[in-house]
Amino acid sequence: MKETKMMIYGAGGAGINVVQRCIEFWGESKYEADRVCNYNHAFIDTSSSNVKKGMNEDNVYILPNLDGSGKKRDENHLEISNVIKEVLVKHKPLDFNIVLFSLSGGSGSVIAPLLISELLSRNIPVIAVCIGSDESVLTANNTLKTLKSLEVIAKKNDKALNFIYQYNERGMPRGKADKAIEGYLSGFRFLFSGKNEELDSQDLINWLDFTKTTSLSPQLGLLEVYSSSDDVVANHPNPVSVASLYTDKDVHGLTAVPEYHCAGYTDLTSCHVDQLHFVIDVKDVPTIAKKIDKTLNQQKEVAESRLSQNNLVSSKDKIEDSGLIL
């Protein structure tokens, strides 16, 4: 297998912040360079407020004449749509591509789906890494609509679209979600290294686009990563598609029965595990949407109850032209 490279796009404020954290972690980590893939990265946003001092300007694309979207997805969607191809000219995709973003914001949740759609239309392998939240009616609504957008994009491009979903639970420190994503992206650097025995690029392309190797039609696939075959079978006894990495050919292998499975061998000692399983399944995708929808409906009921509350002003009050009640 030839050595491959990974491109990481951080879209919007959350995407930029988490990708930057990963870069800093990799700079400090003890991963062996000959075991992981090289990568490049790009930060894309409608505002420079998340661009930190010391970031290389060559890795940054800020849409001109804008200053954020204020969590409103419809605020800048036309301007964003018009620059997606330009973004890919300046920040070219590589062999395997990751787009990291928040589903709930106003910029990343538009930039990322449009970027992913363009990559899929070019038959370029891509994985969405999504942060979901529902701390307000607006963010819950954004999260649900962005997920639905990804489903439409998968079907529009006649491709499987796989996503990691990291729920940013209310009250949970943001660093906890960031740390989990850091682990996912580190795993991808091993998987996409091009240095794994018995695993080639086409194996991984077929793993990602499961419509080529399974009975499923184009749709969203939920991607989860496990370090134990027992955990895989406990959560996904019959997953759609699995890519596995093992340190040892004699290690206890996968007991779940996927429609497609590819495996390779490499030294995972620096990850403190002897195996990694990258599991794609479709059964839990509707559950994610239903949970968000339930929260959204609860929040809407509260909001509607506020609208029905009595006004302070009554018909007995005399209102002056100035707005004063004297």
* Per-residue exposure over 110-123, b if at least 16 CB sit within 10 Å of its own CB, e if not: bbbbbbbbbbbeee
The structure tokens listed for 270 are 């620096």
> Do 182 and 19 form a contact (C-beta atoms < 8 A)?
no
288 within some domain? no
User: Does any domain span residue 124?
Assistant: yes
Express each pLDDT in 252-300 by its tens digit. Answer: 788 899 999 999 999 998 888 999 999 999 999 999 999 999 988 888 7
Residue 252 lies in a domain: no
Residue 58 has pLDDT above 70, yes or no: yes
* Predicted confidence band of residue 307 (pLDDT cuts 50, 70, 90): low
pLDDT at 302: 80
Domain residues for the domain of 209 are 5-223
Instruction: Give domain status of residue 9, yes or no.
Output: yes
| Residue 322 burial (10 A CB sphere; 0-12, 13-18, 19+) | exposed
Looking up residue 29, the CATH number of its domain turns out to be: 3.40.50.1440
Contact between residue 6 and residue 188 where contact means Cβ atoms under 8 Å apart: yes
Rounded to 5°, the CA angle 237-242-243 comes to: 145
Res 75: pLDDT: 73
The predicted structure's pLDDT at residue 193: 94
Over residues 160-175, the pLDDT tens digits come to 999 999 988 776 667 7
Mean pLDDT of 307-314: 74
Residue 292 belongs to a domain: no
The overall average pLDDT reported for the chain is 90
Residue 32's pLDDT is 65
Residues 262, 301: Cα–Cα separation, whole Å: 47
DSSP 152: H
Residue 325 in domain: no
In a domain, 78, yes or no: yes
Q: What is the pLDDT of residue 309?
A: 64
Whether residue 21 is predicted with pLDDT greater than 80 in this model: the reply is yes
- pLDDT tens-digit series, residues 87-134: 999 999 999 999 999 999 889 999 999 999 999 999 999 999 999 988
Q: Is residue 17 part of a domain?
A: yes
CA distances in angstroms from 162 to 80, 240, 267, 279, 281, listed in the order given = 23, 11, 26, 10, 9
Are 247 and 267 spatial neighbours (Cβ–Cβ below 8 Å)? yes
**Mean pLDDT to the nearest integer, 168-183:** 80
Q: What pLDDT digit, counting tens, does each position of 199-222 carry?
A: 999 999 999 999 999 999 999 999
Q: From its phi and psi, is residue 88 left (phi > 0), alpha (psi between -120 and 50) or beta?
A: alpha
pLDDT at residue 242 tops 70: yes
Average pLDDT over residues 177-185: 91
pTM of the predicted structure, to 2 decimals? 0.92
Given this model, what pLDDT does residue 1 score? 62
Q: Which among 131, 121, 130 is positioned nearest to 98, based on CA atoms? A: 130
Residue 31 has pLDDT above 70, yes or no: no
Res. 16 pLDDT band, cuts 50 70 90: very high
Distance of CA 300 to the CA centre of its chain: 26
**DSSP per-residue letters across 198-244:** T--HHHHHHHHSGGGTSSPPS-EEEEEEES-HHHHHHH-SS-SEEEE
| Domain count of the fold of the chain | 1
